[in-house]
Amino acid sequence: MKRNAPDIEKSYKIAKEIYAHYEVDTDDAIRKLSEIPVAIHCWQGDDVAGFETSGDLSAAGIRTTGNYPGKARNADELRADLAKALSLIPGRHRLNLHAIYAETGSKKVDRNELAPEHFVNWLDWARQLKLRGIDFNGTFFSHPNAEKGFTLSSRDDGIRKFWVQHAIACRRIGEYMAKQMASACVVNIWIPDGFKDIPVDRKAPRLRLRKSLDEIFADTISSEYVLDSMESKLFGIGTESYVVGSHEFYLAYAVKNNKLLCLDSGHFHPTEVVSDKISAVLAFLDAILLHVSRPVRWDSDHVVILSDELSAVAQEIVRGSFVDRVHIGLDFFDASINRVAAWVIGTRCTIKALLTAFLEPTALLSRFESDEDYTSRLAVLEELKTLPFGSVWDYYCLQQQVPTGADWLDIIRLYENKVLSHRH
């Protein structure tokens, strides 16, 4: 049932008074929340297909399941779907773009030849929507030069150099985007390299990967424009026994070379959590990138929900005063439900998690902890779980002129009937 503005404002006033008892200023929490951009990933809208005609996603360990109608078939449809999702999400955010979403017209342009000109439509669109910036990802899968399962660590030097050239091209594209958007571009590298069965030589591929990274970053670009990031993985389809770009490898490389480390929620052992890694790696790194996803039985990239782990990630960012050192990007895809709705659900849940973190009385809880009053710490942490967070969230949505509650779903259904259902 729809709620009107006076009711939302009345509920917020009550919530504001309740939170004040716990030394929390809800107005300040909302202000801080509005300043955090989330990089919303383009690949949810077309099942990670991109606009190339060659390659097979499944060959790289990436698979989207489901056949819900309405998949975006071209860049214009994808941008329209993203714009619809953004209109239902509070705040100003960023676009997270992959290299396979280049628009080259009728001309065949291989990935090592990609240039800023192939992304000008994305830039124009982002400026029109007043996005805060664009982040960029090299695409090291779904390509003939990735069919043998190795890219930057390939023993074939021709293939290895092809992917080095692709990474250099991506950094140059990121630099151009940063200058156009007046905001640094996070350029992320993830490769699928590894072995299905137990290898004899674990060292050589990693030495080749290190050599490739050194060659990529030898092309000097100011960190004012490009923030280089590297994304590890525990294992994947076809790399169950060995992954070249492991967490330990990239962590060591990032610390030594002052690069960003990407922590993907689904890229670790099921008993590991990203929330516990944030303060550990930021003790040595200037900044990190998060790929927020939801692993179910490991790296399945389900739509993000307001889970305990997502809340814990947000709490670590806020409690550690890491807001300016953590870049938040989304990484999920589900073709079994309305794809635009998936964007809205996942992004709104990520923002909700950040709001709950800002509504936490961190200073009060820290005093309890420093006084070794763990009883009060536990008691207050549990009481916070039943405070009227929803009233603050609805008020924030009202301020941002987006639907409150689940009212956005009616707009999605109308868009589905008028637009998505007519795609074949």
Out of 52, 135, 231, 416, pick the active-site residue: 231
The answer to whether 47 is a known catalytic residue is: no
Out of 84, 267, 327, 352, pick the active-site residue: 267
Out of 228, 264, 334, 394, pick the active-site residue: 264
What are the structure tokens assigned to 385, written together? 């779980």
The answer to whether 267 is a known catalytic residue is: yes
The answer to whether 373 is a known catalytic residue is: no
**How far apart are the C-alpha atoms of 285 and 280, rounded to whole Å?**
9
**How far apart are the C-alpha atoms of 341 and 424, rounded to whole Å?**
19
**How far apart are the C-alpha atoms of 403 and 90, rounded to whole Å?**
9
Out of 46, 316, 331, 416, pick the active-site residue: 331
Out of 52, 299, 360, 416, pick the active-site residue: 299
CB 149 within 8 A of CB 94: no
Q: Is 419 exposed, middle or buried (0-12, 13-18, 19+ CB in 10 A)?
A: middle
Residues, the chain? 424
Work out the number of other CB atoms within 10 angstroms of the CB of residue 224: 10
Out of 41, 277, 291, 352, pick the active-site residue: 291
Out of 125, 163, 190, 343, pick the active-site residue: 190
Write the Ramachandran bin of 96: left for phi over 0, alpha for psi from -120 to 50, otherwise beta.
beta
> For 359, phi and psi rounded to 5 degrees?
-90, 5
Out of 52, 193, 301, 360, pick the active-site residue: 301
**How far apart are the C-alpha atoms of 415 and 316, rounded to whole Å?**
37
CA dihedral 199, 200, 204, 208 (to 10 degrees): -20
| Residue in 345, 303, 348, 340 with CA at minimum distance from that of residue 420 | 340
Out of 84, 233, 302, 327, pick the active-site residue: 233
Q: How many degrees, rounded to 5, is the angle at CA 263 between CA 218 and CA 57?
A: 80
CB 412 within 8 A of CB 340: yes
**How far apart are the C-alpha atoms of 115 and 171, rounded to whole Å?**
10
What are the structure tokens assigned to 298, written together? 């490991």
Q: How many CA atoms lie within 13 A of 242 on its CB side?
A: 17
The answer to whether 43 is a known catalytic residue is: no
The answer to whether 231 is a known catalytic residue is: yes
Task: State the catalytic residues.
Answer: 190, 231, 233, 264, 267, 291, 299, 301, 331
